[in-house]
Amino acid sequence: MDQLEQLKQITSVVADTGDIEAIARFKPVDATTNPSLMLKAAQDPKYAHLLQQAKQQALAVDGSNAEQLQRMTDHLAVLLGSEISQMIPGRISTEVDARLSFDTQATLSKARQLIEMYAKLGVGRERVLIKIASTWEGIRAAEVLEKEGIQCNLTLLFGFSQAKACADAGVFLISPFVGRILDWHKARYPEQNFSGDLDPGVASVSRIYRYYKTHAYNTVVMGASFRNIDEIRALAGCDRLTISPALMQELAESQAPLVRRLDAEQCSSDDAKQPVDEVAFRWQMNEDAMATEKLAEGIRNFAQDQVKLETLLSQI
């Protein structure tokens, strides 16, 4: 077997793309989207029919121009997600507007709306994960949604305090961003060796994985945002890994044996179980410059791409 197929034997592989053709080619279990990936898909002529459909659905309801643009992006996300769901056996992750990242009630409202929109297309909530930024407010929204039977994917996760708070809240899945953690360290320490197990993104996900398994948390760990296939190989055995089509292709082109690096049955954590309240969360984030900076940057970038997507939809 090639390395992609070997990886699928020990880890659930998730497609990190909005490209339906790529999903059909690589046959992942699940798929994830975000505003950046949606913007890329929206600029592809083969999805023009979805943009037109999203616009028609949004304009069918009265509202301000801003409200209609937001509805267009929501409809586009759900239409694209619905098509993707027909090509995978598992779940499609759909992201809440990043501009709501610090508003628990608005996040709850948007998540419920997305689930209702999916239901109208015949996609049940058991096939959808609502993606929410791992802010304190986002984690609190996810805690409520999980109790309502709406399962969540907590994204833009960079710090251990975020991971602990998500597990305490009982969220279904987290997406720690491996590559963006590496980016931060390489920018600040350009002379340092970050290969293999020295990669700080790999180390972060491995630490979270060991903590969850040692303390019997049910929250799924899904490594995300990879910069190279060595990072993926170093996390082989993680619950799930969401991988871009380009990196899946690289794995598919290698026939070398793939070694399992993470195993729930054979790992232990040096971190004691320690629930995180709001004060502790905010202090620990404050002490973690990388997590604070990358979370803020990620929210800004997703919000900017959301605005670009709305602009694109307004012009069709």
Residue 110 designated active-site:
no
* Pair 299, 98: CB distance under 8 Å: yes
Please give the chain's pLDDT, 316 residues, in tens: 999 999 999 999 999 998 889 999 999 999 998 888 888 888 989 888 998 999 889 888 888 888 888 999 999 999 999 999 999 999 999 999 999 999 999 999 999 999 999 999 999 999 999 999 999 999 999 999 999 999 999 999 999 999 999 999 999 999 999 999 999 999 999 999 999 889 999 999 999 999 999 999 999 999 999 999 999 999 999 999 999 999 999 999 999 999 999 999 999 999 999 889 999 999 999 999 999 999 999 999 999 999 999 988 888 8
> Annotated catalytic residue: which of 8, 40, 55, 131?
131
Other beta carbons less than 10 A from residue 263's beta carbon: 13
C-alpha distances (whole Å) from 219 to each of 15, 127, 136, 215, 311 are 19, 17, 17, 11, 36
Structural domain spans, the chain: 3-314
> What is the fold of 3-314?
TIM Barrel (3.20.20)
Whole-Å CA distances, 75 to 59, 86, 114, 177: 11, 17, 8, 27
Q: Where are the beta strands (DSSP E) in 53-172?
A: 92-95, 128-133, 152-157
